[in-house]
Chains A and B, each alone.
Chain A
Amino acid sequence: MSLKIKPVYINTLSIAAPNMIGLEQALPVLSGETQWQTGEFPKLAPQLLPANERRRTTSFIKLALQVADEANLADKQLPAVFASSNGDFHISNNICNTLSCDPKYISPTQFHNSVHNAAAGYWAIAAKSQAASTSISTGDSTFSSGLLEAVTQVLCQEEDVLYVAYDYPATAPLDKFSDVSEAFSTAFVLSLSKAEKSYGSIKLDISHVDIEKSRCINTSLNSLQDSNPIAESLPLLEALCLKNSTTLCLPYLNNSKLKVEVSHD
Chain B
Amino acid sequence: MPISPLIITASSMVNALGRGKAATLSALKNNQSGLRLSKNLDFSTWLGQVDGVDDYPLEDDLSIFSCRNNQLAKLTLDIDGFRDAVNQAKEKYGADRIGVFLGSSTSGSEETEKAYLKRDENGDLPADYDFMHTHNFTSLLDYTQQSLGLTGVGHVISTACSSSAKVFAAAHRHIESGFCDAAIVGGVDTITQVSLYGFHSLQLTSAEPCRPCDENRDGISIGEAAGFALLEQTTSDSNSQVVLKGFGESSDAYHMSSPHPEGRGAADAMQQALNNASLAASDISYINLHGTATPANDAAEGKAITHVFDTQTPCSSTKGWTGHTLGAAGITEALICMLILEYQFLPANLNVNDLDSSLQIHVLLENLKPKQMINNVITNSFGFGGSNCSLILGLQT
Which A residues fall within an 8 A CB radius of B? Answer: 2-5, 85-87, 92, 95-100, 103-108, 111-118, 120-122, 124-125, 127-142, 145-146, 148-149, 151-153, 155-158, 172-174, 176-179, 204, 206, 208, 253-254, 256
Given A4-B178, A124-B386, A137-B137, verify A173-B253 contact (CB < 8 Å). no
Taking the closest CB of chain B, its distance from the CB of A251, in whole angstroms, is 12
- The A-B contact count (CB < 8 A) is 227
Residues of chain A with a CB closer than 8 A to B113's CB: 96, 99
Most buried by A among B132, B152, B154, B173: B173
Interface residue tally for chain B (C-beta within 8 Å):
69
Taking the closest CB of chain A, its distance from the CB of B57, in whole angstroms, is 23
Contact residues, B128-164 vs A (CB, 8 A): 129-132, 135-139, 141-142, 145, 151-160
Besides the known contacts A117-B160, A177-B131, 20 further A-B residue pairs in the complex with CB atoms under 8 A apart: A85-B138, A92-B109, A96-B113, A111-B198, A114-B194, A115-B158, A115-B159, A116-B160, A117-B385, A120-B387, A122-B256, A127-B253, A130-B253, A130-B265, A137-B138, A139-B142, A152-B176, A156-B172, A157-B173, A173-B124
The distance in angstroms between the C-alpha atoms of A192 and B362, with both chains bound, is 43
Instruction: Write the chain A residue with the least CB distance to B127.
Output: A176
Given A85-B138, A121-B256, verify A136-B157 contact (CB < 8 Å). yes
Contact between B253 and A99, CB atoms less than 8 A apart: no
Instruction: Write the chain A residue with the least CB distance to B130.
Output: A177
Given A136-B156, A138-B155, verify A99-B176 contact (CB < 8 Å). no
> A115 is contacted by which of B116, B179, B383 (Cβ under 8 Å)?
B383
Contact between B257 and A4, CB atoms less than 8 A apart: no
> A124 is contacted by which of B152, B177, B202, B251 (Cβ under 8 Å)?
B251
Given A104-B42, A121-B384, verify A115-B251 contact (CB < 8 Å). no
B216 is an interface residue with CB less than 8 A from chain A: no
Given A148-B179, A173-B123, A173-B125, verify A115-B385 contact (CB < 8 Å). yes
The distance in angstroms between the C-alpha atoms of A172 and B255, with both chains bound, is 31
Given A99-B113, A130-B251, verify A206-B383 contact (CB < 8 Å). no
B264 is an interface residue with CB less than 8 A from chain A: yes
Given A2-B178, A104-B42, verify A120-B385 contact (CB < 8 Å). yes
Taking the closest CB of chain B, its distance from the CB of A82, in whole angstroms, is 9
The distance in angstroms between the C-alpha atoms of A215 and B265, with both chains bound, is 42
The distance in angstroms between the C-alpha atoms of A153 and B173, with both chains bound, is 7
11 A-B pairs with C-beta separation under 8 A: A4-B177, A92-B112, A104-B193, A105-B197, A111-B198, A117-B159, A125-B253, A127-B253, A138-B155, A145-B155, A206-B153
Contact between B386 and A125, CB atoms less than 8 A apart: yes
Residues of chain A with a CB closer than 8 A to B156's CB: 136-138
Contact between A174 and B125, CB atoms less than 8 A apart: yes
The distance in angstroms between the C-alpha atoms of A134 and B157, with both chains bound, is 7
Contact between A117 and B265, CB atoms less than 8 A apart: no
Most buried by A among B131, B151, B202, B265: B131
> B250 is contacted by which of A131, A148, A204 (Cβ under 8 Å)?
A131
Which B residues fall within an 8 A CB radius of A? Answer: 1, 42, 96, 105, 109, 112-113, 115-117, 119, 123-125, 129-132, 135-139, 141-142, 145, 151-160, 166, 170, 172-174, 176-179, 193-194, 197-199, 201-202, 249-257, 264-265, 268, 383-387
The distance in angstroms between the C-alpha atoms of A214 and B293, with both chains bound, is 51
Given A104-B193, A124-B385, verify A111-B202 contact (CB < 8 Å). yes
Residues of chain B with a CB closer than 8 A to A138's CB: 137-138, 141, 154-156
Residues of chain B with a CB closer than 8 A to A140's CB: 138
The distance in angstroms between the C-alpha atoms of A107 and B256, with both chains bound, is 14
The distance in angstroms between the C-alpha atoms of A169 and B254, with both chains bound, is 29
Contact between A148 and B153, CB atoms less than 8 A apart: yes
Instruction: Write the chain A residue with the least CB distance to B129.
Output: A177
The distance in angstroms between the C-alpha atoms of A151 and B176, with both chains bound, is 12
Taking the closest CB of chain B, its distance from the CB of A87, in whole angstroms, is 7
> A152 is contacted by which of B174, B193, B252 (Cβ under 8 Å)?
B174
Instruction: Write the chain B residue with the least CB distance to A139.
Output: B138
Contact between B264 and A130, CB atoms less than 8 A apart: yes
Contact between A105 and B157, CB atoms less than 8 A apart: no
Residues of chain B with a CB closer than 8 A to A132's CB: 249-251
